[in-house]
Amino acid sequence: MTSFSTPLPISGETRLFAIVGDPIAQARSPSVFNALFAARGANAVLVPMQVPASQLRCAIGGLKCIANLDGIVVTVPHKVSVVELLDEIGPVARRVGAVNCMRRRPDGRWGGEMFDGEGFVAGLQREGMPVAGRHVFQAGCGGAGKAVAHALAAAGVASLHLVDAKPELAQALIASLRQHHPQLAVHTGDAPGAGHDLLVNATPCGMAPGDPMPFDLRDAASGAVVAELIMKPERTRLLDAASARGHRIHLGRHLLESQAALVARYFGLCD
Amino acid sequence: MTSFSTPLPISGETRLFAIVGDPIAQARSPSVFNALFAARGANAVLVPMQVPASQLRCAIGGLKCIANLDGIVVTVPHKVSVVELLDEIGPVARRVGAVNCMRRRPDGRWGGEMFDGEGFVAGLQREGMPVAGRHVFQAGCGGAGKAVAHALAAAGVASLHLVDAKPELAQALIASLRQHHPQLAVHTGDAPGAGHDLLVNATPCGMAPGDPMPFDLRDAASGAVVAELIMKPERTRLLDAASARGHRIHLGRHLLESQAALVARYFGLCD
């Protein structure tokens, strides 16, 4: 799936979807979702909506009043704060404490769920790198990190080594993972040790030009995959370094593409 | 301008516009406006939003919180009720007591204006039937009729004969016209007399298949133009009868097309 321009006739019968975030100009979801809708022949459109954090309650309240608006993709900074505006949230959202999408249910109530982690895992799978059985090192245990770690655990990784600049975030995520996946080996510590064959950057470190490496690649297994959640820049310093060391790399944009298919299905629009 | 499918890439930077009404499935504004935006190279999209009357306040309140939403086309049944949700309305809207569009001003306040009447007059002009100097018979003095009569008066018709099934509506409109156009000859009465050279149907009579004629064509001048505001069906019983009698006819859709250009300019998007 690419972000090409799609002929998209909008009529009075078009079903409406939105992505809500702030800022929104950088959002790639409109092109990704609209290409997906067009490919499936759905008379639907997803449009960008810039909503400041202070206006979220008012905006979501209004959007719920629009009868042909069936679903909303939720992005930064609203993924956690929108939860209290929903009537119910799904099992992953409950574990992670955040949603990345919401939909109108047939009874008129609004539900939400979190597909960022599942999208990340599906993207790796689609790129020929299934995660089951892998020994994973993950830096970053915030919102995105929680979603990814829970999805990796659900997808059957062999072990998870979690670190965060705030150690209490890593500890909290480990406690949550142990509750839902008691058999899984989960650890924390300062740096990746030897033996990891999937290394994941779930920190924002790498978005800004001068950022340091989010973690060291020195001890990574020779066949290890190095994966980013950062979408912009597409090639981070971490990915360049990993590539130079002969590792297979995985781009952040694959998350969005795989997640969009999951969210579209959640919206009831695609198989 | 036609309602063809237009290639319309939507990105995170796309400016957002909406048409708000109930029902909305029949609305032609999305195709008309999006073709207009595309022709002008504007990175903007207009989407349909179905908002029940009981939800208008909530929906408009929410839409005002969306920072990249710059304007809203307002249609039935909200044209009058939305006025109280605006910070200011334009001169035509004040005379008519209704708006057909609203926009965010540079200071963040919301203004509204009514272009239905001006759109009707511009459509006649564009079709080669200027209204200045004409002797007009108009049936229907409700929302649409008020807008049309004021626009006809402003465009310099010679006389206006107004009727409505509710005579008090005709009287009220005549009083308002006399206030703003003291020189104009305005009358009321049961039926068109002789000498009218523009006959306008501003009633809903003609929308349903079994509807009677909204007025009699017996005394219409031989070169008279017969004009509809009804868009669906495109050819009403009145237009068929007028055509059969050799009158030139004017379709309701011309209003929408000419009005869209005026509204797009009000939105700041087109010249």
Q: What does residue B248 show for φ and ψ, rounded to 5 degrees?
A: -80, 140
Residue A26, by phi and psi: left (phi above 0), alpha (psi -120 to 50) or beta? alpha
pLDDT tens for each residue of A120-166: 999 999 999 999 999 999 999 998 999 999 999 999 999 999 999 99
Q: Looking at this predicted complex, what is its ipTM?
A: 0.88
- Tell me, what's the pLDDT at A4? 40
| Residues recorded for chain B | 271
Which of the four pLDDT bands, split at 50, 70 and 90, describes residue B150? Answer: very high
Report cis status (omega within 30 of 0) of the bond before A77.
Answer: yes
* B50 interfaces chain A, CB cutoff of 8 Å: yes
Contact predicate B43/B14, CB 8 Å: yes
Place A222 in a pLDDT band, splitting at 50, 70 and 90. Answer: confident
Q: Residue B48 and residue A8: Cβ atoms within 8 Å?
A: no
Amino acid (one-letter) located at B112: G
The distance of B118 to chain A (nearest Cα, Å) reads 24
Q: Decide the pairing of beta strands B44-50 and B15-21.
A: parallel
Q: What residues does A89 pair with on adjacent strands? A: A112
Look up residue B76 and give its amino acid: V
Cβ distance of A66 and B52 shorter than 8 Å: no
Query: For residue B44, what is the nearest residue in chain A, using CA coordinates?
Result: A47
Residue length of chain A: 271
User: What are the backbone dihedrals phi and psi of residue A16, each rounded to the nearest 5 degrees, phi first?
Assistant: -110, 135
Instruction: Return d(Cα A119, Cα A69) in angstroms, integer.
Output: 23
Which pTM was predicted?
Answer: 0.90
- Please, are residues B219 and B231 in contact by the beta-carbon 8 Å criterion? no
Q: How confident is the model at residue B7 (pLDDT cuts 50, 70, 90)?
A: very low
Could you tell me the domains of chain B? 15-114 (3.40.50.10860), 117-255 (3.40.50.720)
Asked whether the beta carbons of residue B62 and residue A62 sit closer than 8 angstroms, the reply is: yes
pLDDT for A55-104, tens place per residue?
A: 999 999 999 999 999 999 999 999 999 999 999 999 999 999 999 999 99
Contacts of A22 in chain B (CB under 8 A): 67
List the single residue in B16, B59, B60 with the smallest CB-CB distance to A47: B16
If pLDDT is split at 50, 70 and 90, which confidence band does A8 have?
low
Name chain A contacts of B16, Cβ cutoff 8 Å.
47-49
**CB distance from A48 to chain B under 8 Å?**
yes
Q: What is the pLDDT of chain A when averaged over all its residues?
A: 93
CB pairs under 8 A between A and B: 139
Q: Has B232 been annotated as catalytic?
A: no
